[in-house]
């Protein structure tokens, strides 16, 4: 398999990784049903969140909002993302 070989002595830990181990691990991941769907959704969500975070200042100021309001909206957006990650991760 794709497991590392651990050699443990009282004062030393040695981890041997085979040359093809990473390739085997990647193949094993892609062979699992649903992995590609999860990978695509994770990637797309990261792109959307980073894009919204990057342009949050511009998007909020389109309505003429001040810097304080922009900071509150941006900070709230980040807090909602963290809370939703905790909720979804707990399911």
pLDDT tens for 67-85 read: 888 888 888 999 999 998 8
Q: Return all residues near 52 (Cβ < 8 A) that are at least 6 apart.
A: 59, 77
Beta bridge partners of residue 13, listed in sequence order? 8
Residue keyed to tokens 């959307």: 48
| pLDDT at residue 51, rounded to an integer | 92
| pLDDT at residue 19, rounded to an integer | 73
Query: Does the pTM of the predicted model rise above 0.75?
Result: no
Among the listed ranges 13-17, 31-35, 68-72, which one has the minimum average pLDDT value?
13-17
Report residue 55 as tokens. 């342009």
């Amino acid at each position: 398999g794709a497991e590392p070989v651990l050699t443990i002595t009282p004062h030393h830990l040695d981890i041997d990784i085979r040359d093809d181990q990473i390739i085997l691990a990647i193949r094993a991941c892609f062979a699992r049903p649903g992995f590609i769907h999860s990978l695509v959704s994770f990637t797309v969500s990261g792109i959307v969140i980073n894009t919204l975070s990057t342009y949050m200042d511009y998007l909020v100021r389109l309505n003429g909002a001040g810097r304080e309001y922009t900071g509150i909206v941006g900070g709230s957006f980040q807090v909602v993302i963290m809370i939703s990650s905790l909720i979804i991760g707990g399911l």
